Chains A and B, each alone.
Chain A
Amino acid sequence: MSAMTQQDEQKRRRARNIALAVVLFALVILFYFITIAKMTGRAA
């Protein structure tokens, strides 16, 4: 595998890891607010 390809793959892996971290963080936030909404049990 050439150095260029390896570097390119590392960049893609890094981008994928960052995307996964963002998604997981967003899910934590979403589930937190869902919990609050369900616990307060009020309609908008």
Chain B
Amino acid sequence: MSDASFIGQGSEAGHAGLDAAYAVRAAEAHPSDYLALLKPRVMSLVVFTGLVGMVLAPGDLHPTLAITALLCIAIGAGASGAINMWYDADIDAVMARTQGRPIPQGRISRDQALGFGTVLSVASVLVMGLAVNWVAAAILALTIGFYIFIYTMWLKRRTPQNIVIGGAAGAFPPMIGWAAVTGDLSLLPLLLFAIIFMWTPPHFWALALYRSDDYARAGVPMLPVVAGDRETRRQILIYSLLLVPITLSPWALGLAGPLYGGVTAALGAIFLALAVRIWRGNDERPAKHMFAYSILYLFLLFALLLAERGLGWGA
């Protein structure tokens, strides 16, 4: 039986097929396989945005508790990644980008991944609540639940809007970091949420443009698979046009300083130029450039806020 035949709407038959296929060659897992379940690269961006939320928040947090909060954000994000790998093992097995993950490779069973992810999810929320505060813990729990139940189980296999709505899961960390310090939320963390939320569609659709065969083979209804290449390029431009003003809003509302405003405007112009190149072209190169640049773009926006705070230039 081919891997592709296991794929269904997250069906138990599909997952049972995978279990049967891979359990027989499941070897003892190496610790690095468990680390891979936590999606460390995704985790690093999540921790960084969470740190920025924490640093920007008014007030002080004991350094030990600040480290604990960041650890909880990292572990919670990683744990939801492990549960995502449990649920999406059938998809991962047929996509070139994800075939090397521990479950499709038969180094960790799906049950092990589910157990690992569940224990870490619960532990990260409990420690956040007991050591830091319950508002941050509640938003962390919401983030984990949103990623698993709303994005992974509900949206991913059903609609090309999967990453538009699901993008909220990746946008919560600055709010968690802020809430860890203040115990509540205000306008700036909501704007940081909005920036990541609007950044997610052009970022992932740029990837999907040159990976559409992979997504089509796996049966994931990403926009290029369902609506086609041309419509995806148009949507990337629309979302980019919406994103850039939102990135400038912290400065426009007096919540960030001139360094952030000026550099963000320049970075946004480059982002828009890439979006226009994608819209006007037919080849993959602008999409690859956009995908790589979008990661740097988000990192730099948050680094600017961090730098302004460090230099005392923030509003």
Contact = CB atoms under 8 A, between A and B. Distances in A.
A37 B71 contact: no
Contacts of A42: 62
B131 A19 contact: no
Contacts of B65: 34, 37-38
A9 B71 contact: no
A12 B27 contact: yes
Interface residues of A, number: 19
Contact of A15 (B31, B64, B66): B31
A33 B28 contact: no
**Main SS class of interface, A:** helix
Given A30-B71, A34-B131, A38-B131, A19 B64 contact: no
Given A30-B68, A38-B131, A43 B30 contact: no
Chain B, interface size category, equals 10 to 19
A12 B28 contact: yes
Interface in B16-70: 27-31, 34, 59-66, 68
Contacts of B131: 34, 38
Interface string A4-19: 0100110011011011
B68 to A, nearest CB: 6
Contacts of A34: 64-65, 68, 131
A3 interface: no
A4 to B, nearest CB: 12
Contact of B61 (A5, A12, A30, A43): A43
Contact of B64 (A5, A8, A12, A36): A36
Contact of A9 (B28, B62, B64): B28
A44 B62 contact: yes
26 contacts: A5-B27, A8-B27, A9-B27, A9-B28, A12-B28, A12-B29, A12-B30, A13-B28, A15-B30, A16-B28, A16-B30, A18-B31, A19-B34, A33-B64, A34-B64, A36-B64, A37-B62, A37-B64, A37-B65, A38-B131, A40-B62, A42-B62, A43-B59, A43-B61, A44-B61, A44-B62
In the A-B complex, list the 9 residue pairs whose CB atoms are closest, starting with the nearest. A19-B31, A43-B60, A12-B28, A37-B64, A37-B62, A9-B28, A33-B64, A44-B60, A34-B131
Given A12-B28, A34-B65, A43-B60, 12 more contacts: A8-B27, A9-B27, A9-B28, A16-B28, A19-B31, A19-B34, A30-B68, A30-B71, A37-B62, A38-B131, A44-B62, A44-B63
